[in-house]
Amino acid sequence: MKPSFINYRDLKATIDAALDPIQQLVATASEATRRQLISSLNKLILSLEDPNDTIHRYGHMNLQTATIRIGFDLGLFELLCEAGGPVAVEEVAQKTGAEPQLIHRILRYLAAIDAVAEVSANRYAASNVTRNLTEKAVEAGLGHYFYTAGPQYEALPAFLKRTKYKNPVDELHTAFQDAWKTPLPAFQWFSENPGHLTYFNDYMALRREPELSWLSVYPVAREVKDWDTKDNSKAIYVNIGGGIGHQCKQFKEKYPDLPGRVILQDLPHSIAKALRTPGVENMEHDFFQPQPIKDAKFYFLRGVLHDHPPHQVRKILEQTKAAMGPDSILLIDEMILPETGVNLTAASIDMTMLTALAGMERTEAQWRETLGEVGLELVETFMYAPLHYEGVMHVRLLGA
């Protein structure tokens, strides 16, 4: 039987009609629904690819980011958003100081990757993606990935081939060192390369929403009901490797009346820039060295352990464990991957940790194994951003 004739104009109209209710749904959909729609539609798109499509989709990924960086440098995305409607190529050229022919070619490419909308042969307007690209977190993040992470990704295939495809476990021997021709570990290299450090710090500071916090789910009140309220010399909360102190500030603001010391710990360069929050002590401390604060109620590590290879993770945990008393709780705020179906963002972050730091993201089973190796027990997990796999783990001394 011959296949029935397909009228592609009618097919396009059918698809467009099907997209209308989907777009209406997105306007009121939950984050979980929105992500599922993206996943389903993306799988549909990829199912239609031929080999040539696959070549150009993967082969031009770096070009996409490079052209978006050019858009940032020229202020194209803010220009289109502020215009409130279509803008002629000549006007864009005049406002950016670039040659009209070049601007036209750049805008044409950005429209082809749906970063802007093409209205007519010489007129362009802002799209949803254009508006996303005006966000400071997006610009900082793409700066970090393009300028700092990008060369590491390029070095990764040769690095793994040279090391006979062994899982990296040494922070001094990763694709990072190959990419930047340096013997330094990543964070020390950052301190000597302030431009790269600025992109990284700005991205880290802007990427997390304050309301997505362990404090929204963890039962602090339940755990401190028997806390000794007479001894204010004891620490109630020690934020280890806490940067400039945002977490301490949030803890103090949410629980201003809890007795006990609230302490921020980090290396001198971070403490020098730390927030001066009333009731918070800023303390210089290297978490690879013995923990000076003994018997605190909560020791808190956020996004620290995934930055380090297994042997360094054990050192950090052992130093913290040695300071813990029988009533102490170690809170580990990290990504907790599912066993299957890990999303693209999380899988990409895991590979980035491998590339730059010999670190990794872990499943709950892997976290239990890691903690058990040093005599700690994962008692309970509280997910505060399940779509991002982010949660806080309640950890005690084994047998406590």
Kind of pairing, strands 235-240 and 261-266? parallel
Q: At residue 6, what are phi and psi to the nearest 5 degrees?
A: -105, 120
Amino acid at 236: I
Ranges of H-type helices in 208-245: 220-223
User: Which residue matches tokens 């013995």?
Assistant: 290
Cα distances from 348 to residues 5, 25, 119, 300, 360, in angstroms, run 42, 28, 34, 25, 11
Please give the structure tokens belonging to residue 166. 């062994």
Q: At residue 264, what are phi and psi to the nearest 5 degrees?
A: -100, 130
246 a catalytic residue: no
Calculate Rg over the CA atoms of the chain. 25
User: Which residue matches tokens 């093409």?
Assistant: 118
In whole angstroms, give the CA distance from residue 392 to residue 214.
6
Say if residues 110 and 61 touch (Cβ distance below 8 Å): no
Amino acid at 84: G
Residues shown for the chain: 400
Say if residues 215 and 331 touch (Cβ distance below 8 Å): no
Ranges of H-type helices in the chain: 8-28, 31-47, 51-59, 61-74, 76-83, 89-96, 100-112, 128-132, 136-143, 150-162, 175-180, 186-191, 194-207, 220-223, 246-254, 268-271, 310-323, 344-357, 364-372
CA 1 to chain CA centroid, nearest Å: 53
Amino acid at 345: T
In whole angstroms, give the CA distance from residue 73 to residue 82.
16
Amino acid at 273: K
Catalytic choice (173, 269, 285, 306):
306
Catalytically active residues, by annotation: 306
